[in-house]
Each structure stands twice: as structure tokens, then as C-alpha cells.
A and B are shown apart, each in its own frame.
Chain A
């Protein structure tokens, strides 16, 4: 039995609109699973023993769990808001800890160096002070009032703008980013990173978006997000140690890393340690 407390969480395993016609083998928390299309055209997910696993179809994806989830999948109220375009970005496999994939998504400081001239640029490298909290009522990590100068914040952005961000971690391998919508400055664009933990050191990443953008084609929006994520991929595959350290060790965080520190604390508090390193390196 792998996964500990993470067994009872929901994980994305397929795009709901593109179910594998011939079935597809995959892994979840190191255990084999099979994703197939049933007689009615719906999704069916089974484990290695052929047991039918519970599924939820939401936010463009099929979600499943190896354990007994006590709670429904986390809410994203913006997903139902009229006027948004919902974008299935498609999956990318990464040889990194599923927790490291989420942690990288929470980081702002790498934008000018990895997403050069898109999400950041030199010399605008400073991360201003922002606020981070673990919200006990909803049991989520939140970072708010994050501001960053971006040359091209989204496909819909015309030139550089200072973008405001909010980050939210509602489950150990999922994060939701809210950022200023370039065409509608009063609203937040929603960009998510849903991560399927294949093993402790490999994962399948399923980004999904709910954007205000009436002009860009669907393909343009997909490509923009794939470009951003694949720029991260080679960095993620070279992080050492491969597992995410949860105890203070050789890493010295800076003020810009406050979200990461809160995320690691929250993981440790709940025993969400699949893909984590518990002994200081």
C-alpha cells in the first residue's frame, strides 16, 4: 500500500473529452491502473486487481482515487462562471517528484530566468513581499498580493504589465493560480496544475485553464501553456535531491520562497509524504 495519507486524495488520470478508445495503462502512487471507455462512452478506471475505482469528471479531467476519499474534489467556483473559456492543455510526463512539480508552480523568482521575456525578464527580477497563510477553515495553502512584472503575461496580453497573482494549494498535488486577466483587469484568470503521481520520482502533469480571452484560438492558448510548462520541465528533471525535502537541511530559503515553505509545512502536517524526503540531506 503506497501513498499513506495521500491515498485518499483525488488525482487526474485523463482528459474527459479525450478518453483512450483502446484503453491506457498508467500508474498511480506506484500502482498500476487502467483507464478505459465503458459501454456508455464514460470513463472506467480499474486498479491492478481489476477493482473499479471511484471517479469524478470535473474541470476537464477524469479524477480517481486508490483509497476512500472523505471529501468531494475541491471546489473551483470560477469553473462555472459564464464567459470563461475552458482549456484542456494536455499532459506532459516529467521525471520529478509530484510535489516538486507543484512547488515549482508556486515559485515566482524563476520567471525571468526560465520563462525569459514571457513571464519575466531581466532586470525585473525582484519578488516583492507578499502574504502567505495556511487557511485552517478550508485547509488550504494560500499566497496573496503577489506582484510581478511580466513582458507577456498571457496569450491575450499586449506588452508588459505588472501582474497580480494568488496561489492556492487545495490538495497535495494540485495548485490553482489566479492571475490578473489582461483583457478583463477586474477578473482573475484561473490556471491550474493538476499532477498525477506516477511514482515518487515521476509524474504526469495535466494543466487546465479557465480564461477570459475572446480573441486567441484554442490552439494558441494550449501552446502558450505547453510552452511555459516545457520550459520548466528540463529544470524539474535536474533538481537534486529528486524527492522534495520536508525537513530543514541544506536548502536555505529566501523571502521569495514563503509559499514553498508553507506548502512543505502543510504537507508535513498532514503526512502527505509520497515524493518527499523526510530526513535532512
Chain B
């Protein structure tokens, strides 16, 4: 699989992370997104007329939506990540993949504005991102009360991978995560997954720190 990639893009990172967790190696083709705007050049527009990255190709297959790439990598190499054990779980994964797009459009756009001089109404973007983050906090908080930490069930799925990058990088767009304790524990759980890889702005867990595990104190007290 060949990934048209940009090191600072959270959407590209989704795909790199999923591939790493599934244990497969991608062929990376770096795209000069900033400052060169190569994604809007003739070669890449021929591949993806919508002018976005990432693009994933394998044989005749060309994928231009990162959540579809997660589905493809999981389906071909790590089917347990699809989370299709039961109809309800499968539907929840699909719901979170759609939710992830709202994160891209709000927190992701705020980050591009603040970091790479992209246009946008920063006040509106941060408001929309805050609403989205609060929804996510409420959902993970509810999951924690049932002794879970991941979004669609009792194990990580492509839903977590789709949402993780834009959430973890929200502070880049002036959206601190201090007010979201459940989101922070969920991020720790994702960062602790075997095979996890980081991207600039998302640091790996420090190896010398004791691993607190996915079960926070609150859950243990409630289930005791």
C-alpha cells in the first residue's frame, strides 16, 4: 500500500497509526503540502480531484478518505479493529467515523489556522470544536462508568483511531484538553497500545513512567 503522506497531517497520521497497529508497512510518498501546496498540483489532482491528502493506493484501488483507509487496512490485515461483532457495535463504529469528520472540520481547521496560516473564522471553529469535544468527553465518561475506555466497545477499533489524532492535537489550535479528564485517560489508553507510533505534537508515553492502565480510580471505586 502506498500512502501519499504529510508528516504534520492528522488525517495522514490516522493511516500511519492504523498501519503500525496492524503491523503492516506502508510505502510513504511525501507530499509537499506546506509550503509547496503539491496536493493541488496536476499529479495529485489526477489521482484525487478533490485535492486533499492522504491518498492510499493499492493496485487499481485509490482511496481518498482517511476513514475509508482505516476500514481497508483493518479489513485486509486486522479485522478485529473493524468492531463488527454485533450490529450495534458495527453501527457505533460507523457513527464515530462520521463524528471524526466533525473533529476534522472544527479542531482540525482551528489547528491549520493557528499553525499554518490557513484561512478560517477562529472563534467559530473553536466554538464548534469545544461542543464536539464536550460530546466526546460525555461519551467516554459514560463508557468509563461501565468499566470501558474505548469508543465502540471493550477494545479499541478504527473508531478510536479516527478520532484520536484531531483530539490529541486540539491544543495546537488553542483548545486545551485540561477540562476533559475522560478524554485524557482515553488518549493515554490509545498511546499505550502495542505498536503505537507518535507524530509531531503527540508524544509517546515515557517508558520510565509506571503504566496506569485503562482503568482509572473512579471506575474501580464504582465497581467495588
Q: Do A and B bind each other?
A: yes
Chain A residues with CB under 8 Å of chain B are 15, 18, 24, 88-93, 95, 113-114, 116, 122, 204, 217-220, 222-223, 226-231, 233-234, 237
Bound Cα distance A95, B206 (Å):
25
Does B32 contact A218, Cβ atoms closer than 8 Å? yes
B-side contacts of A223, CB under 8 Å: 6-8, 30
Does A219 contact B171, Cβ atoms closer than 8 Å? no
Task: Out of B117, B171, B203, B204, name the residue touching A91 (CB < 8 Å).
Answer: B117
| Closest beta carbon of chain A to B13's beta carbon, Å | 11
Does A92 contact B32, Cβ atoms closer than 8 Å? no
B32 to A, closest residue via Cβ = A219
Task: Out of A93, A113, A217, A230, name the residue touching B201 (CB < 8 Å).
Answer: A230
Does A220 contact B30, Cβ atoms closer than 8 Å? yes
Q: Which of B21-35 contact A (CB under 8 A)?
A: 30-32, 34-35
| Closest beta carbon of chain B to A58's beta carbon, Å | 18
Bound Cα distance A113, B209 (Å):
13
B-side contacts of A204, CB under 8 Å: 117
A-side contacts of B34, CB under 8 Å: 90, 226
Does B30 contact A93, Cβ atoms closer than 8 Å? no
Does A95 contact B174, Cβ atoms closer than 8 Å? yes
Question: Given A93-B114, A223-B6, A227-B8: A233 and B35 within 8 A (CB)?
Answer: no
Question: Given A93-B114, A93-B115, A93-B117: A219 and B38 within 8 A (CB)?
Answer: yes
B-side contacts of A228, CB under 8 Å: 200
Residue pairs across A and B with Cβ atoms less than 8 A apart, 20 shown, are A15-B35, A89-B35, A90-B34, A91-B35, A92-B116, A95-B174, A113-B206, A116-B204, A122-B207, A218-B32, A222-B32, A223-B6, A223-B7, A223-B8, A223-B30, A227-B200, A230-B115, A233-B200, A234-B171, A234-B203
| Closest beta carbon of chain B to A59's beta carbon, Å | 15
B-side contacts of A222, CB under 8 Å: 32, 35-36
Q: Which of B183-224 contact A (CB under 8 A)?
A: 200-201, 203-204, 206-207
Additional pairs, 11, CB under 8 Å, beyond known A217-B30, A219-B38:
A88-B35, A91-B35, A93-B116, A114-B203, A116-B203, A219-B36, A223-B8, A228-B200, A231-B203, A233-B200, A234-B172
Question: Given A93-B116, A93-B117, A226-B7: A233 and B172 within 8 A (CB)?
Answer: yes
| Closest beta carbon of chain A to B29's beta carbon, Å | 9
Kindly supply a per-residue 1/0 record for chain B positions 113-157, scoring 1 wherever the CB is within 8 Å of any chain A CB and 0 otherwise.
011110000000000000000000000000000000000000000
Does A233 contact B36, Cβ atoms closer than 8 Å? no
B114 to A, closest residue via Cβ = A93
| Closest beta carbon of chain A to B192's beta carbon, Å | 16
| Closest beta carbon of chain A to B199's beta carbon, Å | 8
Bound Cα distance A235, B35 (Å):
23
